[in-house]
Chains A and B, each alone.
Chain A
């Protein structure tokens, strides 16, 4: 299992030191937090906004449980989190990436799950244990879609 060690400094300078492992099937990408963002795409992957929209709208991301989004074919959008319409002009890809991957570094009390995390969780239901909610490619797809919401 690769380790991610993130140190959050209040001066908006954050460092992440990653220790790579030899395991080839690690479900969690190495990332580096810089300020309030993860600037580099996970695993250097390109996101696809069409796949991203399907993840946001569907059960996989289940984003609509908590967020309103311009996805009219899906009824019942929640409102625990902020609306996603226009998010592409309010946030950079790096800022979105940090909020998807490690939202608690910004707000320890957030109810937003870390979509790309497997460590430090308690009593995870068996079928989900050891897997993140979204894989690195899926995170990048969601970001690509969110950036289209301008």
Chain B
């Protein structure tokens, strides 16, 4: 895991030039891959959506009393200790305090070794429920699932994103990169055309960001609710007049992995507020 400028990390610091100035918080050393070289680096300095947001949106995120995302985190904290299933077990029964989850969210999506597939944090929470609690999985995008996901993500606030794209994750990563470059919809556009090639331009009143997801699940002002990355992907697709893919689909997971990798080193914001 990431060290704070430990000796193990220092030889790689030269590689951190691409990170550029991080305005949301200090990026504290190379974020992962201990014992192996990072596979490759994103082709630019990642910048959080926070930097592209309007001042009033940033103000809501920054104010711990005004930030509505905190309601989801509070509900998540309650659910963490809510017993369920035949054994009346909760997350807390196995994990103890949620602080044990520190850093975890920054590594998702990741390969689940049991199902041998890429899963995101929401899906991993549901796997935990079915495997260890013996309870029904929460419906994707449901309030309890987003609350738990936001709460677990909160435990990684300030941690740099560090997903793995080696081993079995590699083919998912490649698929994600392909999807990122695929033109879709009546507008016939690919993610990369706006979020790599036209960052900072105005689309109507919206400043085009890099499409980073270090703030997700995020509270979205347009919907007045917390939203998963996949729901946000759907919205982007709909704007291009493209058929959205299902939330939880393999393709969206692959895309999420690629986009998370693009943001390697950006710190997790929880709860983030976006328009």
Contacts and interface: CB of A to CB of B under 8 A. Distances in A.
Interface stretch (A7-15, A29-37, A117-125, A141-149): A117-125
B202 A79 contact: yes
Interface string A123-150: 1111010000100000000000000000
Contact of B182 (A78, A79, A122): A122
A78 B187 contact: no
Interface stretch (A50-58, A85-93, A108-116): A108-116
A121 B203 contact: no
Interface residues of B, number: 23
B242 A125 contact: yes
Nearest to A79: B202
Interface stretch (B68-76, B86-94, B188-196, B264-272): B188-196
A66 interface: yes
Q: Name, among B197, B198, B204, the residue most crowded by chain A CB atoms within 10 Å (CB to CB).
A: B204
A68 B60 CA distance: 30
Contact of B188 (A78, A79, A80, A121): A121
Contacts of A114: 188
A82 B200 CA distance: 15
Interface in B162-194: 182-189, 193-194
Contacts of A76: 202, 204-205
B184 A113 contact: no
Q: Name, among B183, B189, B197, the residue most crowded by chain A CB atoms within 10 Å (CB to CB).
A: B183
Contact of B186 (A66, A77, A79, A128): A128
B37 to A, nearest CB: 32
B241 interface: yes
B15 interface: no
Interface of A: 64-66, 75-80, 109, 111, 113-114, 117, 121-126, 128, 133
10 contacts: A78-B203, A80-B198, A109-B193, A109-B197, A111-B194, A122-B182, A123-B242, A124-B241, A125-B185, A125-B186
Interface of B: 182-189, 193-194, 197-198, 201-205, 208, 237-238, 241-243
Report the 7 A-B pairs with minimum CB-CB distance, sorted nearest first.
A76-B205, A123-B243, A125-B241, A123-B242, A128-B186, A76-B204, A113-B187
